[in-house]
C-alpha cells in the first residue's frame, strides 16, 4: 500500500460563518488554519469568499509558511515589486508596516492610502489578498472595503452609458509619490522596477470569472484615464465613479482584532487603509493571489 493510500483522511473542523450586517463581509469562527483544511471545509471557505467578498478568519496563530500554504490553495502567488519590503526567506509575503528600525522602514508604511484593487496595474491583477495581523496599534489602523458589484448595479444611467464598453488605463505610479499619512514614505523605483509596472488597460466594467456578476473596475489609486475620452471628460467621469463607489451603503469598515487574517476579493472590492498615528506600531503580512485577465 502506498503512503498516500494509507494516510489518514484530514478531519473536518467545526467552524461557523457569520455574515456581517454591513454591505459585505463575514467572519469565520472556530477554524484553525494551523491545522490541515480538508476539501469540504475548503469548499465552504471558497464559497463564503465568493458570497461575501471579504472573510475574516479570527484568532489565527499561524506562521508565514502556513499563510503562504493556505494562500496557494487559491492560486499562484504574486511577488510585489517593492522587493526591499518582502519578508526575509519568504518573498511571497509583503510586509505592511509603519515601523522604523535602524533608520529604515521594515515594510510598506502607507500601503492602501488611496482606494484601490490590489495589482490592478498588472496584466493579470490579483484574485484576492490575505492580510495577517502581527502588531496592531491601540487606535486607528482600520481597513475599509467597498462593494464594486453594488456600485455597478446602482450606477446612475448617465454614468452607465458613459462607461459601458470602455476601458481605462491603470498605473502603479499614478499616485505613488503623493503623501497621505504623516511619517510614511515610498522608495524611489529603479528602472527595473518601473519596467515591471508599465501601464496596462482593463475594461471599466469587468465580469467576475467565478460568480458571473459585473463590477466596476476603476480606483483613485491606480486608474489614470479612460481610453478614448478627452482628458477633462475622462477626469470628470472617473471622479463621479470614485464618489459613487464609496457611498456609505457600499462600505464595510474592518476594525482589526489581534491575529485576524482578512481575505478579500480584489475582483469584487476596492479597499482603503484609514491610517493610524505614526508613533503607534502596526505590522501585517500580505500574500497576494494572481487572478485572470479582466473581461
pLDDT of the residue at 3: 52
Mean pLDDT for 273-283 is 91
Taking only the tens place, the pLDDT of each residue in 168-218 is 999 887 655 445 444 445 556 666 666 666 789 999 999 999 999 999 999
CATH 3.60.130.10 fits 14-176+188-288, yes or no: yes
Q: Under DSSP, is residue 17 helix (H, G, I), strand (E, B) or coil?
A: strand
Taking only the tens place, the pLDDT of each residue in 29-71 is 999 999 999 999 999 999 999 999 999 999 999 999 999 999 9
pLDDT cut 70: percent of the chain above it: 89
Chain length of the chain = 295
* CA distance linking residue 240 with residue 234, whole number of Å: 10
CA-nearest of 101, 270, 238 to 169 is: 238
Angle at 15 between CA 270 and CA 144, to 5 degrees: 20
* CA distance linking residue 65 with residue 93, whole number of Å: 10
DSSP percent split of the chain into helix, strand, coil, nearest 5: 25, 30, 50
pLDDT of the residue at 182: 47
pLDDT of the residue at 11: 93
Catalytically active residues are 116, 118, 271, 286
* CA distance linking residue 127 with residue 77, whole number of Å: 10
CA distances from residue 147 to 4, 53, 74, 131, 246 in whole angstroms, order as listed: 42, 8, 21, 18, 8
* CA distance linking residue 222 with residue 172, whole number of Å: 6
Q: Grade residue 83 by pLDDT with cuts at 50, 70 and 90.
A: confident
Mean pLDDT for 97-120 is 88
Mean pLDDT for 208-234 is 96
Q: Grade residue 81 by pLDDT with cuts at 50, 70 and 90.
A: confident
Q: Is the alpha carbon torsion for 285, 63, 50, 74 positive or negative?
A: positive
- Evaluate whether 273 touches 113 at the Cβ level (below 8 Å): yes
Q: 167-170 and 251-254 as β-strands: parallel, antiparallel, unpaired?
A: unpaired
Q: Which residues pair with 143 in a beta bridge?
A: 254, 273
Cell of 23: 454591505
pTM: 0.90
* CA distance linking residue 86 with residue 108, whole number of Å: 9
Mean pLDDT for 157-170 is 96
N-to-C CA span, the chain? 47
* Mean pLDDT estimate for the chain: 91
* CA distance linking residue 87 with residue 130, whole number of Å: 15
Amino acid at each position: 500500500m502506498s503512503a498516500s493510500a494509507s494516510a489518514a483522511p484530514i478531519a473536518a473542523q467545526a467552524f461557523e460563518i457569520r455574515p456581517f450586517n454591513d454591505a459585505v463581509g463575514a467572519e469565520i469562527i472556530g477554524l484553525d488554519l494551523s491545522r490541515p483544511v480538508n476539501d469540504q471545509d475548503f469548499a465552504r471557505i471558497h464559497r463564503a469568499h465568493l458570497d461575501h467578498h471579504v472573510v475574516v478568519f479570527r484568532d489565527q496563530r499561524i506562521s508565514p509558511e502556513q499563510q503562504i500554504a493556505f494562500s496557494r490553495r487559491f492560486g499562484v502567488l504574486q511577488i510585489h515589486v517593492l522587493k526591499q519590503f518582502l519578508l526575509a526567506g519568504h518573498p511571497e509575503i509583503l510586509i505592511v508596516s509603519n515601523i522604523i528600525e535602524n533608520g529604515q522602514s521594515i515594510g510598506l508604511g502607507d500601503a492602501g492610502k488611496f482606494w484601490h484593487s490590489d495589482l490592478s496595474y498588472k496584466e493579470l491583477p490579483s484574485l484576492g489578498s490575505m492580510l495577517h495581523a502581527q502588531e496592531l496599534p491601540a487606535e486607528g489602523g482600520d481597513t475599509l472595503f467597498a462593494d464594486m458589484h453594488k456600485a455597478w448595479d446602482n450606477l446612475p444611467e448617465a454614468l452607465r452609458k458613459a462607461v459601458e464598453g470602455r476601458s481605462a488605463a491603470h498605473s502603479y505610479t499614478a499616485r505613488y509619490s503623493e503623501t497621505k499619512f504623516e511619517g510614511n514614505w515610498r522608495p524611489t523605483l529603479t528602472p527595473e522596477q518601473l519596467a515591471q509596472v508599465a501601464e496596462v488597460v482593463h475594461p471599466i466594467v469587468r465580469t467576475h470569472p467565478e460568480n458571473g456578476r459585473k463590477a466596476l473596475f476603476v480606483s483613485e489609486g491606480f486608474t489614470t484615464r479612460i481610453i478614448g475620452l478627452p482628458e477633462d471628460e475622462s477626469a470628470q467621469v472617473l471622479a463621479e465613479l470614485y464618489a459613487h463607489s464609496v457611498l456609505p451603503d457600499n462600505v464595510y469598515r474592518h476594525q482589526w482584532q489581534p491575529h485576524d487574517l482578512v481575505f478579500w476579493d480584489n475582483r469584487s472590492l476596492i479597499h482603503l487603509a484609514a491610517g493610524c498615528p505614526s508613533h503607534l506600531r502596526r505590522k501585517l503580512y500580505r500574500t497576494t493571489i494572481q487572478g485572470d485577465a479582466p473581461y
